[in-house]
Structure 1
Amino acid sequence: IGTGLTPEEFHQKISKKEITGHVGLIQSIQLISAALGLEYERIIESPPKEVITKREFTTSYGELVPEGFVCGLQSKIYATIGGLEIISLDFVAYAGEHDEYDSILIDGIPKIHQKIIGGVHGDLGTSAMVLNLIPKVIEAKSGLLTMLELPVPCNTENIWKNGSNK
């Protein structure tokens, strides 16, 4: 995500594709629109932008990041129809002291705003999805399937707080 780089170094690494931002945002827009039955005319993805630290801090790896240096990045993408933004994704990842959360806003009836305090750790969330989908995938038809063709993943074990099954 570019933590510890100068803004100039960040831009060089972005242009050389050494830093890519979040991978898969276009596919996420496509899958969301397919799941909701929404048609779109264009998908517009902005190049990743740097997030600049406002004060010096030390990362969890013990590296000092001075004020004015890069502490992370932001990637934005949206789908439009008739110039109207119908789906947008905003990915922000940066180091330092801040409130971590994942947020979903659905502007509909009713309007839904879900905020997951602490966020969902990407690697843990992905591995949990894979593990909980194993029984569903075994029962699925053969071929290349998307999440639209598989049942909703759910917990496959009855695990109690003490870690034992009852």
Structure 2
Amino acid sequence: MTNIVVVGFGAMGTKTIEELNKKETVHVKAVIDTNPMYKGKFTNDYIKDNKQIPIYNSLEDIEWKDVELAIVTSASFLIQIEPLLVELANKEVNILTIAEEMSYPEATNKEIADKLNKLALNKNITILGTGINPGFILDLFIIVLSNTCLNINEIKATRVNDLSEFGTTVLRSQGVGLSVKEFEEDVRSKKVVGHVGFAQSIHLIAKAFKWELIRLKEEKEPIITNEKVTVQGEIIDKGNVIGCNHKAVAHFKNNKVITFEHPQQVCANNYPETKDEVEIQGVPNIKVKIEPEIPGGIGTVAMIINMIPLIIESQAGLINILDLPRLPSIFNE
């Protein structure tokens, strides 16, 4: 039985707990969320489940001696999550996080990555970042497809997904509801973030292929509605923004190129088709299209669940998907 603590009781945290509770070989011992409204509460006060799991506001409220794994379902950026990861590492538990930049943290901040690796080795624990994207669609999936190629010159990949079911925080991070001018201002001030993880996915592919990165350029463009739409009860007028089209182009030595495009929008009219599409130009040429796109929410939860046996088996240190002891697959008991 693997004892687990889940950190974060938002949308990802609650869905992860619901799925973990269906497993016989794992046990969610406790949940941590700093929101004071949860103090003294239990998970079944908020989700339909017969398991009464206590929710605490602090790591110090828990006895960590028999905990093997902490699953962190909050934050996206390395600088945001570093203090929490250090605190958890000092509890001597393995850490699985869905923070996008943790899928390959060296791409964001090598100093912090080296610090976390040194701490993990010292505590004999494993720290791994996972998720649907980065973590699978724009990296691991492409790496697995490359097994059928003798040579690769260029990779093009597109992920189109619908933001309609997401909350206000996510919508605002993609510029939904803004005017074009406001969108451009918020891109400059980094309030509109687009997709977090292009750099991580590109570095993972480069490491797997032994490609030498020369330059990486990203740009964000507004997706504009040509009709009045209503999103989460808010009216967005024609000509305003319903999403962000985030692009990245990476050039490598020997004229290798990776191009990623990730439009995220409320599916009103501009992108009625959601999909994941990968095109590899090489020997042979390969084109794979998944319609509709692999759902980000349940896909991320599945990646969390399926990584549990692998992180327990893995060597100590800060690792990524390329360091796993075997190819990830569904967690069957």
- 2:282 aligned partner: 108
Contact 1:76/1:91 (<8 A) preserved: yes
Larger Rg: 2
| Pairing partner for 2:294 from 114, 117, 120 | 120
Distance 2:257 2:190 in 1: 28
Distance 1:62 1:120 in 2: 26
| Pairing partner for 1:26 from 187, 194, 199 | 199
| Pairing partner for 2:251 from 74, 80, 92 | 80
Map Cα deviations across residues 71-103 of structure 1 (whole Å, 9 max, x no partner). Answer: 101111121136945111111111133111111
Contact 2:211/2:253 (<8 A) preserved: no
Q: How does 1:1-166 map to 2 (within 5 A)?
A: 1-46=174-219, 48-59=220-231, 61-81=232-252, 84=255, 86-97=257-268, 98-150=272-324, 151-157=326-332
| C-alpha spacing 1:58/1:41, structure 2 compared with 1 (3 Å) | same
Contact 1:29/1:78 (<8 A) preserved: no
Map Cα deviations across residues 94-113 of structure 1 (whole Å, 9 max, x no partner). Answer: 11331111111111222111
Distance 1:82 1:36 in 2: 12
Contact 2:212/2:253 (<8 A) preserved: no
Contact 1:43/1:78 (<8 A) preserved: yes
Query: Unaligned regions of 5+ residues in structure 1, if any?
Result: 159-166
Letter in 2 for 1:26: A
Contact 1:5/1:69 (<8 A) preserved: yes
| C-alpha spacing 1:37/1:138, structure 2 compared with 1 (3 Å) | same
Query: Unaligned regions of 5+ residues in structure 2, if any?
Result: 1-173
Distance 2:311 2:267 in 1: 39
Contact 1:57/1:96 (<8 A) preserved: no
- Secondary structure of 1:124 counterpart: helix
Distance 1:62 1:22 in 2: 24
TM normalised by structure 1 equals 0.85
Distance 2:321 2:198 in 1: 15
Query: What percent identity do the matched residue pairs reach?
Result: 33
Distance 2:261 2:212 in 1: 20
Map Cα deviations across residues 33-86 of structure 1 (whole Å, 9 max, x no partner). Answer: 11122222111222x111111222223x23222211101011111211369451
